[in-house]
Structure 1
Amino acid sequence: MPDDLLLEVLRAAREHGPRPALTDARGRTSTYRELSDRVLGTAHRLRAEGMRTGTRMLFSVRPGPDAIVLALGTVAAGGTVVFIDPGVGPELFASRFALADPGWAAAESLLYAASAPGPLRALARRRGVLLPNYGRLPLRHIRSGPWLPGVPVRAVSTRSLFRAVPGAVPPDPDPDQEAVVVFTSGTTATPKAVVHTRGSLGAALRTLATRCELGPDTRVHTDQMMLGLPALVAGAHWTMPPYGFAPSADPAAVAAGLAGATHTFLVPADLAVILDSGVALPGSLRQVLLGSAPVLPPLLKRAQRALPDVEFLAVYGMTEILPVAIATADEKIGHGGDLLGRPLPGVSARLAPDGELLVSGPNLCRGYLGEPPLTEHATGDLARWDDDRLVLTGRKKDMIIRGRTNVYPGLYEPAIADLPGVAGAVMVGVPDAIGDERIVLVLTALPGTSAGLAQRVRAALPDLIDASALPDEVVLVDELPLAGRLRKIDRTALRERFAR
């Protein structure tokens, strides 16, 4: 039978009924049986309220067990969950709203209150957040939380949806059903949204659950659905940190939350902060998944020294298809380049004539909302084969043009970052007076190694990288700028900082 996200979760619920499934930040736990009852009850009541197959729901509910139940219940009712950020600005929100063409909206009660005319909306505006008036959207509404001024009077509460319905019937298999829409890039004029089906998500979750060896004896601590949903498929226990919690802000709280956990997910920047803090992570950890930004050997070496019994896995993928490949810390450190690893079972990969990586597989999204279906995804990443393993050589959009030479930073940054004393290395192109680009190499230092580091690195570069890629300037900074929720390196900020 083809993969199916919904049926996989419900199968696990039948198999592991009394075992703990989901625990929120307050320690409240739902068993697998309770999870199944709440999901099926939600689906039954949504259909009774008028939801039909193909109906899309704007989804702005904070990560937590209630959000998981509501999302799965919506899909079980035949609907589609459209993840949308109401704080993106009025014009972009309006264009995304028009593309999604929703019939329902689900949001926190506080969001309804803060977006309605009144003191909360004025406060949000003073903080630079321009919210649409959610309660005035011409949709059916679901509120998560108590009724507050600004919440539509007829909004359905999640509490009323979640009650079990005796004899509720599970949905039929339908791997082709549209399940999730995620907005990614795009502009106000042409917004872009990825569409996943129950089948593509099911394939992704099965692959991760198998590679991460998740099962009833494991506990996953994360707010990332990428790891949490595979845990549910495998019968594991998923515990969630407080909403909005930033690991880098309080490493001690991270360690406390991970007590008893076997698996978690971190972005590299957060792992670096935790290692710098000296806070000891619990001995129960077996695997730490790393992703959403480049995972370089210097960080992995530090992580292995601090946690020698933990397996660190660098996950390569994107919204359109996840995961594509996974490399262990030993593999990445031993390779020297930016190793992605072998394509995972079922994933096909090939290189375009310009070196761009093209991927496909059962976990590939259906396509972009309003566009023809995809048969493969052009990643925008440049890669090469090393036997049967993929090695990242750069990003097409990060390419630096110097004279007649195209310089791809990703081809050289891992080797530079592996030099003694270097914590991080980023190459950016800065326009010069004649339209060419200067190459600026920006470094951060490991503790106690900053004195003379830029000079030592410059001296080592001719024997390390191609002459055509040698930087015009090598600078040392205290820290690299990060941007976005996933804390990726902000190359735009670096270009602006070093422009002349």
Structure 2
Amino acid sequence: MKPIRYTKEMTDEFVRDGYWTQETFYDFWEKNAREIPDREALVDSKYRLTWQQAVELVDAMAISWVEMGIEKHSRVIIQSPNSVYGFLARIACERAGLISLTVYPYLRKKELTYMVDRTKASAVIILHTYNKFNYLEMYEDLQKEFSHLQNIFLFDDMVPPGAPQGTFSLPTIVEKRVKQPIDKNILAERRLDAIENVAILTTTSGTTGIPKLVEWPAAPRICTSKGRVDIWSLTKDDITMAIAPHAGGAAGTLTYFAAPIAGAKTVMLEEFSPDAALALIEKEKATAVGVVPTHLIRMLEADISKYDLGSLRFIRSAGGYLPPQVAEEAEAAFGASITSDLGTQDMGSVSGCRVKDSKDLRRRTVGRMLPGNKVRLAHQENREITVPDGEPGILYFRGPHAPAGYYRDEELTSTVFDKDGWTTTEDIVKFDQGCLWILGRAKDMIIRGGQNIYPAEVEGLLNDHPAVGSVAIVGYPDREMGERSAAYVIPKSGMNFDFKTMVDHLKSKDIAMFKLPEHLEIVAEFPTVGDSGKVNKETLKKDIREKLGL
């Protein structure tokens, strides 16, 4: 299956410049099995596998699917909590020439109906039940609706009585097949071209509640993963840990995509609780963990002093907004750096901070552009004009870290990428100290009396106040000034914050008076966009207009 967006000129450019290669992710597993065969690769509560053992199981899984007649380029949905077999299934799909779509365990029939139909998936890989939900029953219903969904593979050791035809225990198949010879030439013939074939599908948070699907060949994902390995200084001595689901970017980027390239081990936390996460970090001596902000906040509420977390080197928090004050507390509590970066499933990866960057850069910027990314900052009123050096502008970028577009949808893809591959996050940014500083989104910029207010700048200053847990700045209409700004603040537990305190704090930062918010709302929580964790500023804008009778 050929990617829909890349032109020959693009692929030639990225190959010529050394960013895209014919490497697949399986190649790194095979390399580790050859060079460090007896070192551990994957760990969960049931399995501890060396690189050699992991590759043997991957090969057995892949050849089993081939021998069962699953055709090359078939789409396979993997719905799995954190587990060794969930990991193995992803890489085995690539090894067998299949296109994998790994999704969160919490998705249900509404979302899965769309995905099964859209991808024409021929197989799914699931647990029978998880957290008291019967996945097998859900997919049995979907099988009745979609004849192309022929096989259900269970992560369970047994197939329950009454399971639909075409249901198999994946561990049973693999454990039997791994004891028999495998003709690796058959698997070699199924190899996906790292540039010319779609290998992976990922999901995005859709505004309608139905996730969009994004297609990726291996080459851009490997390019980005190498960039992450570099900025995180990952080596084979690192022990990465998936606290967030490996299906998402928060943990998946660190563990599934980056760790094997460095030869680093991955540990899987199957079910999150603060104490379970902290205990596993201590037990496995994890050096890097992938979390969403909620995990971090809940872990900070636990008695951290009970655990030896001295092995931790850095924390990768993604998938939602992490207030700077929480990051500050976490770094002090865990003794590890928290990294930040910029990227989306729709557009690819843009930039990232190094683990060794100063605290100020890691907290206030999204780091340096990843290798190969080209960038231009456009004028906010005329996007055809590039702003002068040092001036803020709307971020446009193109490079080897971008996906091929929305799955089989050239029209929708063209709304994100132009014909030359340029795209925009709509962020207003500036470059300083070699790093990308986000000042706000173009649609969130406030123009007060002809002067621009960038919400992120004011938010960053307010986050420095010891009583502020989180803050969002939004604009509201004003007859005299056009717009004025309001601050929504979630105070820290047990602390007070009022309008005078806010103004006095901002004045102490020596910023221009027009940037001071002219209204303050104290709230307990922010509305968010879908399951992304991002603050829904459109809801806050509507709320402030209603409160002020505008």
Q: TM-score range by the shorter chain?
A: 0.7 to 0.9
Aligned to 1:381: 427
Matches within 5 A, 1:64-143: 64-84=83-103, 93-110=112-129, 114=134, 133-136=141-144, 137-138=146-147, 139-143=149-153
Matched, 1:317 2:340: no
- Using the alignment, how far apart are the partners of 1:390 and 1:399 within structure 2? 17
- Measured after TM superposition, the shift of residue 431 of structure 1 is 7.4
Aligned to 1:18: 38
SS in 1 for 2:134: helix
SS in 2 for 1:258: helix
Q: Quick one: which amino acid aligns to residue 156 of structure 1?
A: F
Indicate how the Cα distance of structure 1 residues 233 and 15 shifts in structure 2: closer, same or farther if over 3 A, else same. Answer: same
Aligned to 2:5: none
**CA offsets per residue over residues 372-413 of structure 1, 9 Å max, x none?**
475244223221222532111112354457787775422321
Aligned to 1:370: 408
Which of the residues 138, 150, 155 maps onto 2:167? Answer: 155
Indicate how the Cα distance of structure 1 residues 403 and 3 shifts in structure 2: closer, same or farther if over 3 A, else same. Answer: farther
Indicate how the Cα distance of structure 1 residues 464 and 195 shifts in structure 2: closer, same or farther if over 3 A, else same. Answer: farther
- Measured after TM superposition, the shift of residue 200 of structure 1 is 1.6
SS in 2 for 1:207: helix
- Using the alignment, how far apart are the partners of 1:361 and 1:32 within structure 2? 32
- Measured after TM superposition, the shift of residue 175 of structure 1 is 0.9
Aligned to 1:124: none
Aligned to 2:388: none
Aligned to 1:395: 441
More off after superposition, 400-409 vs 34-43: 400-409
Aligned to 1:166: 181
Indicate how the Cα distance of structure 1 residues 457 and 402 shifts in structure 2: closer, same or farther if over 3 A, else same. Answer: same
Aligned to 2:384: none
- Measured after TM superposition, the shift of residue 150 of structure 1 is 6.5
Which ranges of structure 2 fall in alignment gaps of 5 or more residues?
Answer: 1-20, 381-392
SS in 2 for 1:178: coil
- Using the alignment, how far apart are the partners of 2:265 and 2:150 within structure 1? 33
SS in 2 for 1:133: helix
TM-score under structure 1 normalisation? Answer: 0.83
Which of the residues 324, 330, 333 maps onto 1:306? Answer: 333
- Using the alignment, how far apart are the partners of 1:337 and 1:157 within structure 2? 46
- Using the alignment, how far apart are the partners of 2:89 and 2:331 within structure 1? 39
Which of the residues 500, 506, 518 maps onto 1:455? Answer: 500
- Measured after TM superposition, the shift of residue 461 of structure 1 is 3.6
Indicate how the Cα distance of structure 1 residues 218 and 204 shifts in structure 2: closer, same or farther if over 3 A, else same. Answer: same
- Measured after TM superposition, the shift of residue 52 of structure 1 is 2.1
Q: Is the 8 A contact 2:459 2:473 kept in 1?
A: yes
SS in 1 for 2:41: strand
Q: Percent identical across equivalent pairs? A: 23
**CA offsets per residue over residues 276-331 of structure 1, 9 Å max, x none?**
445135111112222223445433433343344x2332232222465432225885
- Using the alignment, how far apart are the partners of 2:173 and 2:423 within structure 1? 38
Aligned to 2:296: 271
- Measured after TM superposition, the shift of residue 456 of structure 1 is 0.6
SS in 2 for 1:340: coil
Q: Quick one: which amino acid aligns to residue 296 of structure 2?
A: L
Aligned to 1:236: 264
Matched, 1:445 2:472: no
- Measured after TM superposition, the shift of residue 264 of structure 1 is 0.8
Q: Quick one: which amino acid aligns to residue 193 of structure 2?
A: D
Indicate how the Cα distance of structure 1 residues 443 and 187 shifts in structure 2: closer, same or farther if over 3 A, else same. Answer: closer
SS in 2 for 1:362: coil
Indicate how the Cα distance of structure 1 residues 369 and 419 shifts in structure 2: closer, same or farther if over 3 A, else same. Answer: same
Q: Is the 8 A contact 1:417 1:425 kept in 2?
A: yes
Q: Quick one: which amino acid aligns to residue 37 of structure 1?
A: E
Indicate how the Cα distance of structure 1 residues 37 and 319 shifts in structure 2: closer, same or farther if over 3 A, else same. Answer: same
Q: Is the 8 A contact 2:111 2:210 kept in 1?
A: no
Indicate how the Cα distance of structure 1 residues 185 and 197 shifts in structure 2: closer, same or farther if over 3 A, else same. Answer: same
Indicate how the Cα distance of structure 1 residues 263 and 320 shifts in structure 2: closer, same or farther if over 3 A, else same. Answer: same
- Using the alignment, how far apart are the partners of 1:324 and 1:64 within structure 2? 29
Q: Is the 8 A contact 2:78 2:89 kept in 1?
A: no
Q: Quick one: which amino acid aligns to residue 78 of structure 1?
A: G
- Using the alignment, how far apart are the partners of 2:122 and 2:376 within structure 1? 40
Q: Is the 8 A contact 1:7 1:173 kept in 2?
A: no
More off after superposition, 216-225 vs 155-164: 155-164
Matches within 5 A, 1:172-321: 172=191, 174-176=193-195, 177-186=197-206, 192-222=212-242, 223=246, 224-229=251-256, 230-243=258-271, 245=272, 250-259=273-282, 260-280=285-305, 282-308=309-335, 310-320=336-346
Give the length in aligned residue pairs. 479
Aligned to 1:344: 370
- Using the alignment, how far apart are the partners of 2:378 and 2:484 within structure 1? 28
Q: Is the 8 A contact 2:349 2:402 kept in 1?
A: no
More off after superposition, 391-400 vs 464-473: 464-473
Matched, 1:476 2:522: yes
Q: Is the 8 A contact 2:467 2:496 kept in 1?
A: no
- Measured after TM superposition, the shift of residue 34 of structure 1 is 1.3
- Using the alignment, how far apart are the partners of 1:466 and 1:101 within structure 2? 56
SS in 2 for 1:303: helix
Aligned to 1:327: 353
- Using the alignment, how far apart are the partners of 1:381 and 1:318 within structure 2? 12
Q: Quick one: which amino acid aligns to residue 70 of structure 2?
A: M
Q: Is the 8 A contact 1:57 1:102 kept in 2?
A: yes
- Using the alignment, how far apart are the partners of 1:429 and 1:97 within structure 2? 41
- Using the alignment, how far apart are the partners of 1:208 and 1:399 within structure 2? 31
Q: Quick one: which amino acid aligns to residue 231 of structure 1?
A: A
Q: Is the 8 A contact 2:204 2:346 kept in 1?
A: no
Q: Is the 8 A contact 1:99 1:191 kept in 2?
A: no
Which ranges of structure 1 fall in alignment gaps of 5 or more residues?
Answer: 122-130
Q: Is the 8 A contact 1:56 1:102 kept in 2?
A: yes
Q: Is the 8 A contact 2:491 2:497 kept in 1?
A: no
Q: Quick one: which amino acid aligns to residue 236 of structure 1?
A: A
- Using the alignment, how far apart are the partners of 1:364 and 1:336 within structure 2? 23
Q: Quick one: which amino acid aligns to residue 154 of structure 1?
A: G
- Using the alignment, how far apart are the partners of 1:268 and 1:15 within structure 2? 36
**CA offsets per residue over residues 21-78 of structure 1, 9 Å max, x none?**
1111x15201111111111111111111222222111222333111111111112111
- Using the alignment, how far apart are the partners of 2:361 and 2:259 within structure 1? 30
Matched, 1:44 2:73: no
More off after superposition, 33-42 vs 408-417: 408-417
Indicate how the Cα distance of structure 1 residues 306 and 62 shifts in structure 2: closer, same or farther if over 3 A, else same. Answer: closer
**CA offsets per residue over residues 441-486 of structure 1, 9 Å max, x none?**
12233456x2354421133445655555443421233454566655
Aligned to 2:6: none
SS in 2 for 1:83: strand
Q: Is the 8 A contact 1:357 1:380 kept in 2?
A: yes
Q: Quick one: which amino acid aligns to residue 212 of structure 1?
A: W
Aligned to 1:125: none
Q: Is the 8 A contact 2:240 2:287 kept in 1?
A: yes
Q: Quick one: which amino acid aligns to residue 521 of structure 2?
A: V
